[in-house]
Amino acid sequence: MSPSERPGRPVIFGEVLFDCFEDGSRVLGGAPFNVAWHLRGFGLDPLLVTRVGEDGLGAEVRAAMARWGLDAAGLQADPERPTGTVQVRLDARGQPAFEIVADVAWDRIAAEAAVAAARAAGPALLYHGTLAARSPGSAAALAALRGLGAPAFVDVNLRPPWWTAEGVRKLLAGARWAKLNDAELATLAGGTDGGTEAAEALRARHGLAAVILTRGERGAAVVHAGGVEEAAPEPVRDLADTVGAGDAFAAVAILGLLRGWGWAEIVARAVAFAADICRVRGAVTEDRTLYARWLARWGEITPA
């Protein structure tokens, strides 16, 4: 049964966090949060399964989700650990260095509550990254969610020191789709080849239906059992930043899988939307007209 034929909702599992800068500013994000946000913008009703602290930042997460209409049934509260943060520091050349703070609330997502929320939603698809499995607690919750049997979409995020090759292999085992960029593919392949041949080798090794490969300024490709579909890069006008472009791409890929689009449509539309998000400061936007415009262009129903 294809995802588009499955009843239920997309379940999005993993980290929610704030990027905290030296000047005191902060930006809400985390790949799963960003993906869930975009899916809601496109009119879907995703269930975000994550955990925040009982603190001010946690309250900000709840408020943002309420404004956007994101279901909070999968949002857990941790009375002991803080909401996740990333400390961002800029060097003399303006290049950022990141410290993803450890032992925070999203490292301790409780399996029983996660499964109960997902069962109630009826998962049509389960999205998760690799970062969310860095701690035993959340890794156990993820394994329990995978056990519900929904097809898994794995977003590979190689964030040192929070990954191992063996850990990534375990997450890819039994998954339906994997998304990663060409640099990550080359790293997993143990060489410099991050192209479609390496993607096909990864797909075959893990029995995946498809490997979705993002290639930055060179566009993207999907390698599946029937061949390869490629999309040319989309020009970015009025660039603000590239933060969250990969998450925007992933959200459109999930939308396409759930709506039954073909691979050529999925990869082309995902590239185009990701380029548009590069015109927005940060990873997400509360501008609902942006989503309505893309849905209209794709011939999809505009959300109410």
User: d(Cα 138, Cα 270) in Å, to the nearest integer?
Assistant: 29
pLDDT at 268 over 50: yes
Within a domain: 260: yes
Residue 186 tokens read as: 């080359």
pLDDT band at 236 (very low <50, low <70, confident <90, very high): confident
Within a domain: 266: yes
| Residues 6+ positions from 281 with CB-CB distance below 8 Å | 240, 241
Average pLDDT over residues 60-82: 98
Within a domain: 249: yes
User: d(Cα 197, Cα 228) in Å, to the nearest integer?
Assistant: 10
User: d(Cα 224, Cα 284) in Å, to the nearest integer?
Assistant: 29
User: d(Cα 82, Cα 84) in Å, to the nearest integer?
Assistant: 6
Overall number of domains in the chain? 1
Q: Is 290 exposed, middle or buried (0-12, 13-18, 19+ CB in 10 A)?
A: middle
For a pLDDT cut of 70, what percent of the chain falls above it? 94
pLDDT at 3 over 50: no
Pairing of the two strands 152-155 and 123-129: parallel
> Looking at residue 228, which CATH number applies to its domain?
3.40.1190.20
Looking at residue 59, what is its pLDDT? 98
Question: Of 220, 285, 205, 288, nearest to 250 (Cα)?
Answer: 220
Within a domain: 88: no
User: d(Cα 143, Cα 33) in Å, to the nearest integer?
Assistant: 19
User: d(Cα 170, Cα 4) in Å, to the nearest integer?
Assistant: 26
Q: Is 171 exposed, middle or buried (0-12, 13-18, 19+ CB in 10 A)?
A: buried
Looking at residue 96, what is its pLDDT? 66
Beta bridge partners of 28: 18
Residue pLDDT, tens place only, 122-175: 999 999 999 999 999 999 999 999 999 999 999 999 999 999 999 999 999 999
Residue pLDDT, tens place only, 200-211: 999 999 999 999
Query: CA-based angle 27:31:33, to the nearest 5?
Result: 70
Looking at residue 211, what is its pLDDT? 97
pLDDT at 94 over 70: no
Beta bridge partners of 212: 179, 222
CB count in 10 Å sphere of residue 117: 21
Phi, psi of 279 (to 5 degrees): -90, -5
Within a domain: 192: yes
Helix (H) or strand (E) holding 140: helix 136-146
Looking at residue 244, what is its pLDDT? 85
Range of the domain at 240: 176-297
pLDDT at 282 over 90: no
pLDDT at 303 over 70: no
User: d(Cα 79, Cα 269) in Å, to the nearest integer?
Assistant: 41
Average pLDDT over residues 244-273: 96
Return the minimum-mean-pLDDT range out of 25-29, 231-235, 245-249: 231-235
Residue type, 61: V
Within a domain: 199: yes
Q: Is 63 exposed, middle or buried (0-12, 13-18, 19+ CB in 10 A)?
A: exposed
Average pLDDT over residues 83-102: 80
